[in-house]
Amino acid sequence: MKENGMSLIVKRITRITVSLIFMFGVYILLHGHLTPGGGFAGGVIIALSFIHLVLAFGKETAFKRMDQVGASIAESFGGLMFLGIALLGVFAGKEFFLNVLPKGTPFDLFSSGIIILCNIAIFIKVGAGLFAIFVALAIMRIPVDDPGQEDGR
Amino acid sequence: MIEVHVILVLMIIGAIAAIEIEEMLSSVIAMGAVGIGLSLQFLLLRAPDLAITQLVVEILSLIILIKATVGAKMPKEKFRARIGYLIFALLFAAAFLFFSEQALRELPGFGSPLMKMGSEYLTEGLKKTGATNMVSAIILDFRGYDTLGEATVLFTSVIGVLAVLRIVRKRA
């Protein structure tokens, strides 16, 4: 496989920082109902960590972890999960989007019923969707430009 | 409130620079300065949720714009066309300022909410949802329908982008 991506310095630093960015995104997600943040911001941060990988290592290495088909599937899954959580209220015999799960004690990590589940669903959806948009807009080239780079999906 | 105004002036300078600079890349970076200034504004006006979201979305769009526009140049316009644009822009700005001055006179002062709904959320929200971040409680519990609509918008845009770019790939 030919060498691509950026220089050695960028690759070494990326190896350290990518996991930190990923962890920060998950932190923002899981504390979305306690502190500022939430599913949308966490999802964008996760998408940024994958974009970081793509920019530093080139797309062959990054697409082993998440490619465009995987991103599409994850996005649809997140959307359906959000809709399913919303329908929980209907299945319980009450209104759409009712908070049917137990609330728990305030300031606990697992509190506030469906809000944390909704955050997780939005997180999957936003992260995968924005990564797919980035790959489609910035990485895919019309093959005339750059004949060696159009085989990734 | 002085820092809000300072950042506002810097944002206006950044916006003017983004229009006037000829090279695309510098223009995109000036636009990024405007976005970071907006994020700081949200932070100073005590909306940390919005500040985080604005910051991360700004970084994402900057990366996409830099990847797309690196090395490109703006085509130069003719001088006469620019004078026409300037007259039109000044007329529009005057009309906009006039009508917004009329409209903003009717609003309540900054930081003095009159709305019953907002105080209801603040007093009852924690008991009803169990979430201590009231923004999350509102967008995911009280106003879940709006978030569903927003998710649909994002989903549709992703479908659109992927569909358009898939045609290009098949032709190759």
Contact assignment for B63 to A134 by CB distance below 8 Å: yes
Measure the CA–CA gap between B133 and B126, rounded to whole angstroms: 9
- Which among B29, B11, B170 has a CA at the least distance from the CA of A140? B170
Contact assignment for B49 to A37 by CB distance below 8 Å: yes
Q: Which residue of A has its CA nearest to B169?
A: A142
Measure the CA–CA gap between A81 and A124, rounded to whole angstroms: 9
Residue A111 forms contact with B (CB below 8 Å): yes
- Residue B42 is predicted with a pLDDT of 92
pLDDT band at A150 (very low <50, low <70, confident <90, very high): very low
SS3 content of chain A, % helix, strand, coil (to 5): 65, 0, 35
Measure the CA–CA gap between A121 and A39, rounded to whole angstroms: 8
Render pLDDT for A22-72 as a digit per residue (tens, 0 to 9): 999 999 988 888 888 888 899 999 999 988 888 888 777 777 777 777 888
**Residue ranges of domains in chain A:** 8-141
Q: Which residue of B has its CA nearest to A74?
A: B155
Measure the CA–CA gap between A48 and A54, rounded to whole angstroms: 10
- Residue A72 is predicted with a pLDDT of 83
- Residue B167 is predicted with a pLDDT of 52
**Residue ranges of domains in chain B:** 1-76, 77-107, 117-172
Which distant-in-sequence residues (6+ apart) come within 8 Å of B95 by Cβ?
none
Contact assignment for B130 to A132 by CB distance below 8 Å: no
pLDDT band at A3 (very low <50, low <70, confident <90, very high): low
Tokens 């997600």 belong to residue = A29
- Residue B111 is predicted with a pLDDT of 67
Measure the CA–CA gap between A105 and B130, rounded to whole angstroms: 7
Q: Which residue of A has its CA nearest to B67?
A: A138
Chain A CB contacts of B142 below 8 Å: none
Render pLDDT for A67-117 as a digit per residue (tens, 0 to 9): 777 888 888 898 898 888 888 888 877 777 777 777 777 777 777 778 888
- Residue B143 is predicted with a pLDDT of 83
Render pLDDT for B52-111 as a digit per residue (tens, 0 to 9): 999 999 999 898 888 877 766 666 666 667 788 889 999 999 999 999 998 888 877 766
Task: List Cα–Cα distances, A77 to A56, A65, A121, B119, B130, in angstroms.
Answer: 28, 17, 8, 36, 27
Measure the CA–CA gap between B36 and B60, rounded to whole angstroms: 12
Among A135-149, B62-76, B107-121, B145-159, name the one with the lowest average pLDDT.
A135-149
Residue A81 forms contact with B (CB below 8 Å): no
Render pLDDT for B31-44 as a digit per residue (tens, 0 to 9): 999 999 999 999 99
Residue A88 forms contact with B (CB below 8 Å): no
- Residue A42 is predicted with a pLDDT of 92
Q: Which residue of B has its CA nearest to A128?
A: B158
Residue A53 forms contact with B (CB below 8 Å): no
ipTM exceeds 0.90: no
Residue A62 forms contact with B (CB below 8 Å): no
Contact assignment for B56 to A136 by CB distance below 8 Å: no
Q: Tokens in use for B43?
A: 């932070």
Residue A34 forms contact with B (CB below 8 Å): yes
Alpha-carbon torsion A41, B58, B68, A54, what sign?
Answer: negative
- Residue A124 is predicted with a pLDDT of 92
Residue A49 forms contact with B (CB below 8 Å): no
Do residues A116 and A33 touch, judged by C-beta distance below 8 A? yes
What's chain B's average pLDDT?
84
Amino acid at B13: I
